[in-house]
Structure 1
Amino acid sequence: MKTSGSMKKSELESCASAVNEFLISNLDGRPKALYQASSHYIRSGGKRLRPFMVIKGCELLGGDIKRALPAAGAVELVHNFTLVHDDIMDNDEMRHGVPTVHHKFGLPLAILGGDVLFSKAFELLSYSGRKAGIPDSAITEMVGRLANACTVICEGQVTDIDFASNTKFPSESQYIEMIGKKTAALFEVSCALGALSAPDHSGKDVENLSSFGRHVGVAFQLVDDLIGAVGDPKVTGKAAGNDIREGKKTLPILLALRKAKGDDKDRLMKVFGSRTASAQEIRDAVRVVSDVGVDEDVRNAARQHMARALESLAGYGGRPARDSLQFAADFIVGRSL
């Protein structure tokens, strides 16, 4: 017999499959190479956490997957658009075991493929949303909210770039504000769009689900940063201590630098941002980050945001979709290193 957890996992996979099918059917056209570039990451798989939250947010308020798919597809297209452009800015060659779009298809097609993802997102919301029976007033608000989220993501990305180029380290609150824009904005709008897709929603419902998504998004990035600092390469698919080598000023590294003393701090500072550091030096730095107890500090910060997220859903007890949203939240915080 399946456990509740395995049932929820199969639910996540079922939603991912429906979203993939919907997106692939909408990313088919000529020139073929353009659509191959735009759909490259989507075809390579993924958990589809943001679309899952759209779908379950809609179901929480009496909707179904048919009504939710246009918005679910739209947020996943925007997410993939940001991945394509992030990889170009970082000049990365691999993402989760597959070549990056610009590495496989060249820079011009990667930029244009990203542009297609961005414009298709709003096409799905507008045209497919209307076909799914969503009224124009709700579609107008959805388009406005998704457009605003895209702007906020860009603001967060530039702030992150500023952190990287500045010799000073940001404060913890500055860092949380940055990831609140760069990462949490898309989780927040995913949940808002889920509510707006439902046939019977109130302004308070949209506000509650937005709050849930915002705090889940912050928790997601905190755990992601922890994985980037001390994650097992066999699990993460990235080199050990990848964020340390690249000099990323993430919360785990900020906390480690604050807590480490003497030789340990010197070991960490020596390789921070050093592309020429040896594998052994990076391993030593990862051990320093692990030994000073950063893992528990960051997970506790993530749990605090998760508790605030779940408070936002307190009024929806007894609805199966609420349990599904909580499962997704728990899955995010519990991801292994």
Structure 2
Amino acid sequence: MQRFEDLLKLFQTRFQQAHFPETPATLYEPNNYFLSLGGKRIRPVLCLMGNELFETLHDDAYAVGNAIELFHNFSLIHDDIMDNAPLRRGKTTVHEKYGLSTAILSGDVMLVKAYDYLSKVQVRYLPQLLHLFNKTAAEVCEGQQLDIDFQHLSKVALEDYIHMITLKTSVLVAASLKMGAIIGGASEGNQNHLYQFGRDLGIAFQIQDDYLDAFGDPSKVGKQAGGDILENKKTFLLIRALEVCKGEAAEELNRLLESNPVDKVQQVLKIYETCGVKEWANQLKQQYFESALLHLDAVAVVGTRKQPLKELAHLLLQREY
């Protein structure tokens, strides 16, 4: 089985093709612009890895990978709109550059193109793949809505937050692996263990993402520093802080949530460190990481074939961007 970096090169070569027609340019150019910003392409490559874990890499895995990556980018365009985000990957977001109405339409047609790629796979796989893709797409939308709902609540329980990020982020990671496994002819048991591996890895990935939004280097992360803090988003960091901070720290945190001082990000980060939230976050990430590896170990293939997935898991959770 090939390493992530090698499969990424193979996928990138194919994905660089033109996905959209030239006209109307006002509709399709924003999508070309957004795709040109790059991205880690983790999810489509996980589909390739899920296929190759069980069988020789098939062209269908590339078609599904294209569908997954376009769906993911569609969700990011709309996510940026809902978050009113000025930057994505260090560049101007689509709605800021081209306008809100165009960004909505461009995202919609990117989703349509994702289904076009999905329709190209062999008929014998299509019902199972389409069911999983649709289920996952709906769950991602549910997770995004919960994320919005949480912004209007004064308190959110940690288990509710974990449920939200499971839907919003980790189910697509899990489904990417499982769709590849389906193409690779994996048994149902192996498919499910690989799905759970991706699910837990996706949760750990999101914990790391929230951590980097708060504590990461903006020049590496490519997003506005402390964007979640400025939006009062109910991330696991804030939820934990509201649970454990007492006395003056709790009072100051609540005051900052109700106001918008110039140095709000710096003040909130100081409270996070004082209340031990930073260390707790790393411990929680490690718990999900270890759970993910247990499911990967349970997949019934030779251990050496799983090594590239283990290496990738370590890489994702040690990243600085």
Task: Compute the TM-score of the two structures, normalised by the length of structure 2.
Answer: 0.91
Distance 2:56 2:258 in 1: 48
Q: Please list the CA deviations of residues 53-99 of structure 1 after superposition, one character each: whole Å capped at 9, or x if unmatched.
A: 11111110113163311111111111111111111112222212111
**Which residue in 2 is equivalent to 1:296?**
279
Within-5 A mapping of 1:149-160: 149-160=136-147
User: Is 2:254 aligned against 1:269?
Assistant: yes
SS in 1 for 2:151: helix
Distance 1:150 1:258 in 2: 32
Q: Is the 8 A contact 1:245 1:277 kept in 2?
A: no
State the 1:113 CA deviation: 1.1
Say what the alpha-carbon RMSD is for the aligned residues: 2.1
5+ residue gaps, structure 1, are 1-6, 130-134
SS in 1 for 2:18: helix
**Which residue in 1 is equivalent to 2:15?**
20
Cα pair distance change 1:305/1:239, threshold 3 Å: same
Q: Is the 8 A contact 2:230 2:265 kept in 1?
A: yes
SS in 2 for 1:316: coil
Q: Is the 8 A contact 2:87 2:222 kept in 1?
A: no
State the 1:31 CA deviation: 1.6
Within-5 A mapping of 1:241-252: 241-252=226-237
Cα pair distance change 1:154/1:116, threshold 3 Å: same
Cα pair distance change 1:249/1:176, threshold 3 Å: same
**Which residue in 2 is equivalent to 1:99?**
92
**Which residue in 2 is equivalent to 1:78?**
71
**Aligned pair partner of 1:216 in 201, 212, 227:** 201
Distance 1:144 1:66 in 2: 20
2:148 alignment partner AA: I
Q: Is the 8 A contact 2:58 2:183 kept in 1?
A: no
1:20 alignment partner AA: F
5+ residue gaps, structure 2, are none
Distance 1:213 1:15 in 2: 21
Structure with more contact order per residue of length (Cα contacts < 8 Å, sep ≥ 6): 2
Q: Is the 8 A contact 1:78 1:118 kept in 2?
A: yes
**Which residue in 2 is equivalent to 1:191?**
177
State the 1:18 CA deviation: 3.0
Q: Is the 8 A contact 1:219 1:332 kept in 2?
A: no
Cα pair distance change 1:90/1:30, threshold 3 Å: same
Q: Is the 8 A contact 1:180 1:218 kept in 2?
A: yes
Task: Compute the TM-score of the two structures, normalised by the length of structure 1.
Answer: 0.87
Deviates more, 1:295-304 or 1:235-244: 235-244
1:278 alignment partner AA: V
Cα pair distance change 1:300/1:18, threshold 3 Å: farther
Q: Please list the CA deviations of residues 229-269 of structure 1 after superposition, one character each: whole Å capped at 9, or x if unmatched.
A: 23232332334332222101111111123222333333322
State the 1:26 CA deviation: 2.3
Q: Is the 8 A contact 1:252 1:289 kept in 2?
A: yes
State the 1:211 CA deviation: 1.1
SS in 1 for 2:73: helix
**Which residue in 1 is equivalent to 2:129?**
142
State the 1:16 CA deviation: 5.1
Query: How many residues get paired?
Result: 318
Distance 2:105 2:93 in 1: 14
1:311 alignment partner AA: L
Among all aligned residue pairs of Structure 1 and Structure 2, give the percentage whose two residues are the same amino acid. 33
